[in-house]
Each structure stands twice: as structure tokens, then as C-alpha cells.
Amino acid sequence: YRALLNGVPQRPEFAQWFWSRIEKSANGCWHWCQAVTKRGYGVVSLYPFGISQAHRVAYQISHGFIPEG
């Protein structure tokens, strides 16, 4: 990947792919339509860097680095 932010590709193509995997329901909930953990949390493969939780990837695409704390 050309540019990474905490392992998340910072390219328009990746963001477009990511957001296309989310279904927005009428009640305002956003549902991840790909892989999920046993507890139902969305996960994203960032090969070869590993796996990240979908909500963290969404934040990083939208806002940049996740602050500590």
C-alpha cells in the first residue's frame, strides 16, 4: 500500500471498498456485511499487516490516528 495509517491503507479505492461493505438500516444502525467475530464485531483483513476491527478502520479512514486513552 502506498500510504498506511496504523496499518490502514489511506487510498480512495480502499475507503470505497470498505464503505461499500456497510448496510445502513432505517433505524440509523450501520451493519458490517463481511467477516465478524464470535461476538458479532466486524473485522477487516489488512493483509499482510493483520486483522483490525471494522469500527477502528472506519474511524481511521474518517478521522486519522486513534488517540491513546
pLDDT at site 2: 43
Q: What percent of the chain stands above pLDDT 70?
A: 86
- pTM score, whole prediction: 0.79
From the list 38, 37, 32, 69, the residue with the least C-alpha distance to 54 is 32
Mean of pLDDT values over 39-64: 88
Distance CA 51, CA 26 (A): 29
Mean of pLDDT values over 3-31: 82
Higher pLDDT, 5 or 17: 17
Q: Is the pLDDT of residue 24 over 90?
A: yes
